[in-house]
Chains A and B, each alone.
Chain A
């Protein structure tokens, strides 16, 4: 079976800097794959290229067998890939419920005529979208904050909303850029549970995360990036013992499973 996402010989040069040299990896459907590596390794750059925010210097991105290299972010979202952002990103000035409705955009189809004439089909769709938005807010535990402006939420809640907005668009492939960054241990555990639930709902997940205990627990496979090159690919147990990975990223191999704050 061909993988859901294939990245082939990807290279990204930014000015004179080689952010990604020559990277190939794939994400099989239904799995959680993690992309890890030290700061500046090129993880976010890879996300930017896959989701159309940057053009690669060379290489191809294939989604579900079709090439998507160079499509715009909105087209790629229409194909079924949605990402979250490393720096918290929500629709400020809008309530949590409005945020959810905005992220549900792709789940509706009402056009200008439906809007102007308030056609029955448009009204029905609106009611359905609202129900979906509420269901998703319940699911991620933000229903109690539905009428709160997004920028007023606590940091942890904003992170959760950021993930929810990506997930709510019900993509086939969900890209999460450091969802647990800055979260305390209990929030991290909640975040991990949420990712598992999303996977169980049928979403494939590509995860960038510095929290190693979380990565080791949640991933089906791990891709390790260092200075724009892939230095290892494999199951968590293999990565943990991989000598080059330990040298480049994990350190002396002394990291502890529990309570290790990520760099």
Chain B
């Protein structure tokens, strides 16, 4: 029963476009879904290793730019009269490149930043995202700077019997995001429920004890950072092909904050936390749109966040779990 429930939930979500083919609803759910994938990836770091990465959006942005540049192609000078040229590539290739590039930066950041932990780690991650934003703003030849990368083609997939199909419709994009979200969830679950996940939780719970029994801190934190960054990069790729425009604002701090809020209210360190928190905080702003001024929305957001932290400090999912009667 409890094993079946998640799949029923996924099946219900998958049937939604058929039952309620409302384009506005699908659009809202699709963009919420992209952020939920980001939150799922952040949860692996924040929830399971306890490391607060306040620059998480960097990996999201890297994924978005990588995908956009792969899809559009580029031709840039790198000095000494040398040029690097890339012809436009199919979307799936850009998607994989986004995961690899973001994962690679996750590895680099992990190697450098996990030597320091706590506040310094938080500061380094913030700086990392800011530096990338500066690069995106100023490397105009590659990124077009504030003019943004535009006319990014929609995601295209090879489908049996139909060949390569560009996903123009709202429902197709919705299904794509849902599928990637399910895969991201499963990847995190597999990692968390393994020897690696146990090592991560051991490090979070009691680092010196964990080291004394031979758990290598940096090794496992870097593994978590690479997976987390790779998934965030995948979310960024979906974002680029869905919104079809990428500008330096994808690196804005507010997006990291949104993901952190989703993870904390849902319940960090639980598999379903980022999904539940992501659905609530991904949908509220759109549900309020048209009923309240944007300023009022942000106030409502802030108040809701404070209430959650005060009354459900461990998040919604752990609170619900503790309500369930134990046999």
Contacts and interface: CB of A to CB of B under 8 A. Distances in A.
Interface of A: 51, 53, 72-75, 77-78, 82-83, 85, 89-94, 98, 101-103, 105-106, 108, 110-112, 114-118, 122, 125-126, 129, 165-166, 168-169
Nearest to A98: B198
B213 A53 contact: no
Contacts of B210: 91, 102
Contacts of B195: 105, 108, 110, 115, 122, 125-126, 129
Given A77-B214, A82-B214, A116-B190, A101 B198 contact: yes
Contacts of A111: 196
Contacts of A126: 194-195
The 8 A-B residue pairs with the shortest CB-CB distance, nearest first, are A77-B214, A115-B194, A106-B214, A73-B211, A102-B202, A91-B205, A169-B213, A74-B216
Nearest to A129: B195
State the majority secondary structure of interface residues on A: helix
A165 B191 contact: no
A10 to B, nearest CB: 20
Contacts of B190: 115-118
Scoring B195, B199, B202, B205 by chain A CB atoms within 10 A of each residue's CB, the highest score goes to: B195
A85 B209 CA distance: 8
A89 B209 contact: yes
Contacts of B187: 116
Size category of the B interface is: 20 to 34
A159 to B, nearest CB: 14
B207 to A, nearest CB: 10
Nearest to B201: A94
A73 B212 contact: yes
A166 B212 contact: yes
Contact of B191 (A72, A108, A112): A112
B2 to A, nearest CB: 18
A207 B227 CA distance: 42
A105 B198 contact: yes
B212 A102 contact: no
Contacts of B279: none
Given A74-B217, A112-B223, A166-B213, A85 B199 contact: no
B194 A77 contact: no
A102 B204 CA distance: 12
Nearest to B216: A74
B138 interface: no
A102 B212 CA distance: 11
Given A77-B213, A82-B213, 20 more contacts: A73-B211, A85-B209, A91-B206, A91-B210, A93-B205, A94-B202, A98-B201, A101-B198, A102-B210, A105-B199, A105-B215, A114-B194, A115-B190, A115-B197, A116-B187, A116-B190, A116-B191, A122-B195, A125-B195, A165-B213
A118 B214 CA distance: 23
Contacts of B196: 110-112, 115
B212 A91 contact: no
Contact of A102 (B201, B217, B223): B201
Contact of A90 (B197, B201, B206): B206
Nearest to A162: B209
Nearest to B199: A105
Contacts of A92: 205-206
Given A114-B194, A126-B195, A91 B211 contact: no
B208 interface: yes
B276 to A, nearest CB: 20
A53 B199 CA distance: 19
A92 B204 CA distance: 10
A221 B19 CA distance: 79
Contact of B213 (A72, A75, A94, A102): A102
B212 to A, nearest CB: 5
Contact of B215 (A74, A94, A166, A168): A74
B268 to A, nearest CB: 12
A165 B214 CA distance: 11
A111 B196 CA distance: 7
A140 B319 CA distance: 34
Interface centre among A73, A78, A89, A110 (most CB of B within 10 A): A73
Interface string B53-88: 000000000000000000000000000000000000
A106 B205 contact: no
A173 B211 CA distance: 16
Nearest to A117: B190
B208 A91 contact: no
B213 A103 contact: yes
Contact of B212 (A51, A94, A129): A51
A82 B212 contact: yes
Contacts of B194: 110, 114-115, 122, 126
Interface in B116-171: none
Contact of B214 (A53, A74, A114, A129): A74
27 contacts: A72-B211, A73-B211, A74-B211, A75-B216, A77-B213, A78-B214, A83-B212, A85-B212, A89-B209, A91-B201, A91-B209, A91-B210, A92-B205, A94-B202, A94-B205, A98-B198, A98-B201, A102-B202, A102-B213, A105-B199, A105-B213, A105-B214, A106-B213, A110-B194, A110-B195, A116-B187, A168-B213
